[in-house]
A and B are shown apart, each in its own frame.
Chain A
Amino acid sequence: MTDGTVEMGRFGPFGGRYVPETLIPALDELAAAYAAACGDPGFLAEVDALSADYVGRPTPLYRARSFEAEAGVAPIYLKREDLNHTGAHKINNTVGQALLAKRMGKPRIIAETGAGQHGVATATACALFDMECVVYMGTEDVVRQSLNVYRMELLGAEVRPVDSGTRTLKDATNEALRDWVTNVADTHYIIGSVVGPHPFPLIVRDFQAVIGREARRQILKAEGRLPATVVACVGGGSNAMGMFHAFAGDDGVALVGVEAAGEGLGSGRTSASLSEGRPGVLHGSLSYLLQDADGQVAPAHSVAAGLDYPGVGPEHSHFKDTGRARYVSVGDGAAEEAFRALPGLEGIIPALETAHALAWVTEAGRRGEIEGPVAICLSGRGDKDAVHVAGLGAGEAGS
């Protein structure tokens, strides 16, 4: 499960456990419970059974021939995480962590959410296991992802709007951490991405790594070879790390993470932590971070709420510095265009987050920069974004 670099919660120099002292015992308890669970065949069997019967795994790896024609590169495969129950990869992690919380005897679950997909996936797992669920969500995201707010409430979760700071994912995470510090005795915090203090980046990666394990097996079966290029969008980076991990040891496979350039690199309105940030400490770990000269965290921006975060998972920072993965970026406009294009080409409406990965493949393919086979993690479905993008089309674009 682990390699030497993560023994101390470190990926190279990144990661760690920079949190208030109050949380240290809970993180120790979580790390120990997770290690014990990973050694328990009963736990692993329960995760596998729920993955199959409830989440709907394995998800298909689908060859997107019309999209290939658009992008000028072939073959292109889409790893259909949008077909998971609740419509995104997030549930891979929430089912696993909720089971872990049950093992630890913690009846109350909290989570942060940006796009609302992690909130919905957490609320779903809590409904399934009959646990109390509180989800923190920035007020800006409550507005632009209103469908997911309603879904969470239907599932029995309490959605607490967060009106501080930039009113997005960063601030929702601050508020979830404050709740955890206060209620740590009976509460487990299901972090939604490969971020946060050790052991969260490791746990979330391990529960998401099923994406890449399946994709690797599926493409070998379909093509008889490994992909040349594996692509995923990166906010915190959970679908990307889940997709990349199985390929990390395959030297011939190029790993490409696509960040949100928002209104364009250099505009001061981006979420491209790896492209434009420098190492810093936020939410418990050292990683690339958008910040000013004094170390104040800079407000992030992206049209995709799930990418609208100034930090990134520490393992991605490590992959950037070692060169194991390459990180590029795509702006709001190109992502919206890809969001509008894929439905007509393939009959699939992608999430705006995912659309960043699709947009980059289209651009890079047309420029002849990438080789097939290409495997893209189609991390989520776009129903949640339809109303928002329709509104942008009506004249708000670029505002």
Chain B
Amino acid sequence: MTGRRAPGRIAARFARLAAGKRAGFVPYVTAGYPTLDHTRELVAGLAEAGADVIELGIPFSDPMADGPTIQRSSQGALDAGTTTGDVFDVLAGLRRHSDVPVVIFSYLNPVVSRGVGEFIREAVDAGADGVLPTDLPLGADPELESRLSESPLDLVRLIAPTTYPDRIREIARASQGFVYYIARTGVTGARSALREELGREAGAVRAVSPCPVAVGFGVSTAGHARAVGAAADAAVVGSALVDRLDSGGVVGALALARELREALDEVRPG
């Protein structure tokens, strides 16, 4: 069956990274920003530039966990007419020439609006490997969470700096593919510096997590990537890529991606 993924493509990628003692690179892309053609070119280029997992974001009208950059890219994508169907279409196109693992990043409403069963079916058919709903914390909706976690899609969970230790363990155990550690309390957005405690916190999550730990929020530069790559299994970069897409187009964003990939290869996950 074309389009249906091999089971555990994300896990396989992280296993390969671990075997090579390399840190993973997880770029985030707002689908449809500034246009769907840009996104097609960008995701294809990211796969070639060494992305280990691509977070493909469904734009949402009310991105309450996002800062100004991703608010702007989300609104821009919606203003350009991007639909959820278009996002799956971009992914299906990528699948014709790349098997890079892809996680669909979404706020919950586009998922529940479609009907979770239909959303899963379309995502799987398009070739998605996972789903990361930013506003579905552990325990919020057990029925919906089971439907996602029992589907062929990996349900990727988030852990925050405010999450208490018992809950960190529970979330890490429940997460599939990898678990996402949020680098700071706050919204997404590029920053000049990471917090000093980040390495220790990521290490604490890794110590209790059965799955790989990716760190994102504010990871913007090669220096940040090195710091994260030394403390976690992967670095997630979103707003900095969107900013570069604005200033330098797809070529500029891909140049930053290669720079980040190289920086991650200069360190070995602790």
Contacts and interface: CB of A to CB of B under 8 A. Distances in A.
Contacts of A18: 108, 135-137, 140-141
A25 B162 contact: yes
Given A21-B163, A22-B160, A296-B109, 9 more contacts: A17-B137, A21-B138, A164-B75, A178-B66, A178-B67, A280-B109, A280-B112, A294-B83, A294-B113
Nearest to A10: B141
Given A174-B62, A297-B109, A181 B186 contact: yes
B187 interface: yes
A327 to B, nearest CB: 21
A16 interface: yes
Q: How big is the B interface, by class?
A: 35 or more
Nearest to B136: A18
Given A284-B135, A291-B109, A22 B140 contact: no
A182 B187 contact: yes
Interface residues of A, number: 37
Given A165-B61, A174-B64, A297-B61, A21 B110 contact: no
Contacts of A295: 60, 84, 109-114
Contacts of B112: 279-281, 286, 295
B65 A282 contact: no
B175 to A, nearest CB: 11
A20 B84 contact: no
A296 B141 contact: no
A20 B135 contact: yes
Contact of A22 (B66, B108, B136, B185): B185
Nearest to A164: B71
Contacts of B140: 16-19
Given A18-B108, A18-B140, A280-B113, A26 B162 contact: yes
Interface in A252-282: 279-282
A16 B67 contact: no
A185 interface: yes
Nearest to A311: B62
B48 to A, nearest CB: 30
B158 interface: yes
Interface of A: 16-26, 164-165, 170-171, 174, 177-178, 181-185, 279-284, 286, 289, 291, 293-297
B64 to A, nearest CB: 5
A282 B108 CA distance: 9
Interface in B126-183: 134-138, 140-141, 157-164, 167, 171, 182
- The majority secondary structure among interface residues of chain A is mixed
Given A18-B136, A21-B160, A21-B171, A297 B62 contact: yes
Contacts of A26: 162
A279 B182 CA distance: 29
Contact of A294 (B67, B75, B84, B164): B84
B64 A296 contact: no
14 contacts: A19-B140, A20-B182, A21-B138, A23-B162, A24-B137, A25-B164, A26-B162, A164-B75, A174-B62, A174-B63, A178-B187, A181-B186, A283-B64, A295-B114
B84 to A, nearest CB: 5
B110 A294 contact: yes
Contact of B137 (A21, A164, A178, A293): A21
Nearest to A185: B185
A291 B113 contact: yes
B67 A296 contact: no
Contacts of A183: 185
Contacts of B159: 21
Contacts of B108: 18, 281
A322 B78 CA distance: 35
A376 to B, nearest CB: 32
A102 B88 CA distance: 48
A21 B182 contact: yes
Nearest to B87: A294
Contacts of B171: 21
A308 to B, nearest CB: 15
A381 B143 CA distance: 44
Nearest to A24: B137
Q: Which interface residue of B64, B163, B186 has the most chain A CB atoms within 10 A?
A: B64
Interface in B56-89: 60-67, 71, 75, 78, 83-85
B135 A296 contact: no
A16 B141 contact: yes
Contacts of B78: 296
Nearest to B83: A294
A282 B134 CA distance: 12
A35 B4 CA distance: 49
A281 B109 contact: yes
A136 to B, nearest CB: 12
Contacts of B185: 22, 181-185
Nearest to A295: B113
